[in-house]
Structure 1
């Protein structure tokens, strides 16, 4: 019986990267032996066990045979006579098919039958064998590795094999939820643009995410390249530079989609509500946000009305009156910014990227977050009590609060128009 460390832990150690999780393969053992040693069985489809102390995963050496379509169409065989090389042969990429054990002198020994260390040195992503073609999920995994290891190239024969897989219809068997899981993980890698480029190059993007593929048939906004797809990837690159969360990165990709397209994509992929919601808000309000890139109108905003009673002011204000401060407050309220300020900040981040600017540099973001900072200081409870004493109810109280926020923004108008960078992030 032999135990080897395998997979990503070996790969990352050889690359000098931090090792997050260690996986082990056990050759020559049976499930009964593992249980007798105190391991806990956790695998549903194949024999995987948790170590009694470290809780790391130990899997019995196994082979896999294609028995159906898609990424679940496999028959797994595990037995004591399955060799380490047979187990490594079923893996996706050569850089993930390296095993390690401790030698007699204490130094690590590597078992590398498929040239994984050479491909690490040459910075190449290469499939282990033609069995790669049996699992369409491996296309998405390889695209994710391309996003993680930005300086690695994809072997030409591997790209050709992926194109054959797409042409054979294998990608169509992937469930939308599984596609989203891999895409979401890939979006959080250092260079997610490479994931999209890889999926486009092999044809998988058009099958799995046709809404995004269609962006390369649309013109980009003036000054942002030829195609909306390249503009989306430029936005995504800015998001990565600022270590933006998943919702912002997805919103960059979905920014140029129409409302119906975003809905269809989100429903089919079962994208989480918060991720979908931010993409919708940023796309819907970006033009309104962008209007405040020129703050001259705000600086010239009229001073507050003489009366200190905001309820009187609200009653005296025409519904059609649209001074800059009121327009800003209406925008903030429409975005639910006083209850969900973090969502506003993230939506402004997306729109900054749409304008090709880092978020802290975009003037409209500074102005709107500054206005929010002033307006949120309004004591809404005190105003509601004052309005109630005057016999006001419901919508009328809301108008009093709205007017108080407008007054707060007006009083700060000159400062908000200052071009000096300030941070007011919620």
Structure 2
């Protein structure tokens, strides 16, 4: 039984980047051998085990055979006679098909080290075309490693996969998983570029068209280290509310991301015009966005909307400052106290509270213009 470190850990070491996790492949062993050695089986589709001390994953070397469309249509074969080279040839990109033995020696049958040096994404073999998730993974890698380019033959292969309908067989959860991870990388626009160049973007997020307009927007969101919900809202902020809802439904976007994206698309123009809004309009904006109960989410929306503007530090923008001051003033109004001291009918209390909030906002930031 021999073990090798494979995939991302080897790739990132060669790139001089920090390594978070180590994946291992085991050659010359059976599941029974692994259990006897103290490993804990966890794999559902093929034998994967957790190391008894480190809890890192160890997978038996395997081959696979395509049996149906999509990314789940595979039959896996593992046995003690599957070689390391047979395992590596099924991997997606040459830069991910490098193994390091216990002695530190590298096994690189597909010249991944040269592609790392040349900054090229290149598929290992024709098996790449059997799994459409690999298109999404490559696009995500493009966002993580923005100085890499896609080999022409790999782009041609991905385009053929798109034309043959493989991308359309992807389930929404898997698409969202890869898209959301790509949005959190250092240059998300590169993900859109990779998807556009192979024709997949129009199948995955058709609402954003060719993506050119939103590329600088999502890169600003990444540069400002916004969270996932804010970055997705930045991606979709130029769309109509029905378009955002349509995209979220198709991709099964989580509620937190969906709600912020809808709010941003709906109220971005109010954020842009914040310096000109009077106190009543500002209170109306807070009410629409549930800002009194969820002030942090409201400011997330402001941050996402600000990505449309090429400003150096959006946290210091006059629009954000005015909105934050106005929201603080409105939230400082004690609705319970107003209700207790008022002799008005109960149905009039909300009117009185709103009037007090408008007055508080007016005193804090004025009727328009800079605070």
| Residues 1:21 and 2:21 aligned together | yes
What residue number does 2:328 align with? 373
What residue number does 2:280 align with? 326
Cα deviation, residue 386, structure 1: 1.2
* Distance of 1:237 and 1:75 partners within structure 2: 39
What residue number does 2:293 align with? 339
The verdict on how the C-alpha distance between 1:190 and 1:161 changes in structure 2, with shifts beyond 3 A counting, is same
- Matched ranges for 1:110-189 at <5 A: 110-189=106-185
Cα deviation, residue 397, structure 1: 1.3
Count of residue pairs brought into register by the alignment: 370
What residue number does 1:233 align with? 215
The partner residue of 2:190 within 186, 189, 194 is: 194
* Distance of 1:149 and 1:413 partners within structure 2: 44
Deviates more, 1:345-354 or 1:238-247: 345-354
* Distance of 2:367 and 2:274 partners within structure 1: 14
* Distance of 1:377 and 1:207 partners within structure 2: 47
* Distance of 1:6 and 1:267 partners within structure 2: 36
| Residues 1:386 and 2:341 aligned together | yes
* Distance of 1:35 and 1:3 partners within structure 2: 15
* Distance of 2:368 and 2:56 partners within structure 1: 54
What residue number does 1:83 align with? 83
What residue number does 2:305 align with? 351
**Cα displacement string for residues 334-355 of structure 1 (whole angstroms, at most 9, x for unaligned residues):** 2211101111101111221223
**Cα displacement string for residues 279-304 of structure 1 (whole angstroms, at most 9, x for unaligned residues):** 1111111222222234xxx7xxxxxx
1:165 and 1:171 in contact (8 A); partners too? yes
| Residues 1:412 and 2:367 aligned together | no
* Distance of 2:163 and 2:14 partners within structure 1: 35
Cα deviation, residue 230, structure 1: 2.3
TM-score, normalised with respect to structure 2: 0.95
1:367 and 1:417 in contact (8 A); partners too? no
* Distance of 1:95 and 1:155 partners within structure 2: 12
1:348 and 1:359 in contact (8 A); partners too? no
1:370 and 1:416 in contact (8 A); partners too? no
Unaligned runs of 5+ in 2: none
2:30 and 2:79 in contact (8 A); partners too? yes
1:367 and 1:416 in contact (8 A); partners too? no
Cα deviation, residue 97, structure 1: 0.6
* Distance of 1:278 and 1:156 partners within structure 2: 38
| Residues 1:255 and 2:241 aligned together | no
* Distance of 2:344 and 2:365 partners within structure 1: 32
**Cα displacement string for residues 89-129 of structure 1 (whole angstroms, at most 9, x for unaligned residues):** 110011111111232xxxx2111111111111111111111
* Distance of 1:417 and 1:39 partners within structure 2: 66
What residue number does 1:292 align with? 274
What residue number does 2:32 align with? 32
Aligned-pair Cα RMSD in Å: 1.7
Structure showing greater Rg: 1
Deviates more, 1:156-165 or 1:405-414: 405-414
The verdict on how the C-alpha distance between 1:45 and 1:332 changes in structure 2, with shifts beyond 3 A counting, is same
Cα deviation, residue 160, structure 1: 1.0
What residue number does 2:204 align with? 208
Cα deviation, residue 326, structure 1: 2.1
What's the secondary structure of 2:17's corresponding residue? coil
2:172 and 2:250 in contact (8 A); partners too? yes
What's the secondary structure of 2:274's corresponding residue? helix
What's the secondary structure of 1:65's corresponding residue? strand
What's the secondary structure of 1:70's corresponding residue? coil
Cα deviation, residue 83, structure 1: 0.6
Cα deviation, residue 417, structure 1: 5.3
Cα deviation, residue 365, structure 1: 1.7
Unaligned runs of 5+ in 1: 217-228, 299-323, 420-426
**Cα displacement string for residues 357-415 of structure 1 (whole angstroms, at most 9, x for unaligned residues):** 3422432221111111222222222222112xx2531x311122212222222222359
